[in-house]
Amino acid sequence: MRRWWLWILLAFLATGAFYVTHSFLSGPRWALYQIGKAVHDREPRVFLAHVDIDRILQGQKDTIVDMVAPKDRRDDDTRNLVRGLVNAFMAPLSDQLAAQVVKAINDPDRENLPSSWTLVFAANVTRNGNYALVVLSDPQKGQRLRLGMEKRQNRPWQVVDINSNDLKRLAKKYLQDRYGIQTEERRQSQPRQAEPPPADPPTEGPNDQGGD
């Protein structure tokens, strides 16, 4: 009798382990693991297989236009001109960015190699069919990055979108911490020091007036 229950328990645990493993290997978390592993093991081909740079840039077109020609500072004709230029250079820009990614991942002097599981443990994944919203957060630094992932036919799960606000915020912080570059918004937010009052003009004494 005890052996019968034991076999039932083992079968139940094996079935549960199978479904958990299958769900992980066929879901977005497995793609996140592959991205982390690609960075750690310096395998840019695997990274690019799970990160669609072209789709990400396409989703950032409006953000690029707003950075170059803000709505409150440029007219519609100027913005349309910038939008056309962005569309024209999108393909070369995608190729250049992919080349930079390959160079960065292959850099032999790079020491900050995260664990292959870093993205998996840092991710909060909300899946809706073939689309998933991924929130990567660092509680210690108070930072987050929201990603959109998609599963298309005959392709693995891929990162296809990055939240524009999160990307701009992290880029500004990176420029400030790494190169000391302050963006216009950061400079405007800093309080201005009060200028000292102008010195009083010198007064002429009675002996300063000319005369014979």
Q: pLDDT of 40-61, one tens digit each? A: 999 999 999 999 999 998 888 7
Kindly report, residue by residue over 130-175, the tens digit of the pLDDT: 999 999 988 777 788 999 999 998 889 999 999 988 887 877 776 6
Residue 84 in domain:
yes
- Number of other CB atoms surrounding residue 157 within 10 Å: 24
User: Angle of helix 164-179 relative to helix 61-68, nearest 10 degrees?
Assistant: 50
Residue 100 in domain:
yes
Residue 204 in domain:
no
Supply 204's token pair.
Answer: 């002429």
Kindly report, residue by residue over 85-115, the tens digit of the pLDDT: 777 777 787 888 899 899 989 988 877 677 8
Residue 67 belongs to domain spanning: 2-107+122-185
Tell how far CA 157 is from the center of its chain: 18
Residue 69 in domain:
yes
Q: 5-40 in b/e burial notation, b at 16+ Cβ within 10 A?
A: eeeeeeeeeeeeeeeeeeeeeebbbbbbbbbbbbbe
Helix (H, G, I), strand (E, B) or coil at 151: strand
Residue 194 in domain:
no
More confident residue, 1 or 10: 10
The domain tally of the chain equals 1
Residue 49 in domain:
yes
**Is residue 181 scored above 70 in pLDDT?**
no
Residue 116 in domain:
no
Q: What is the pTM of this model?
A: 0.69
Residue 34 in domain:
yes
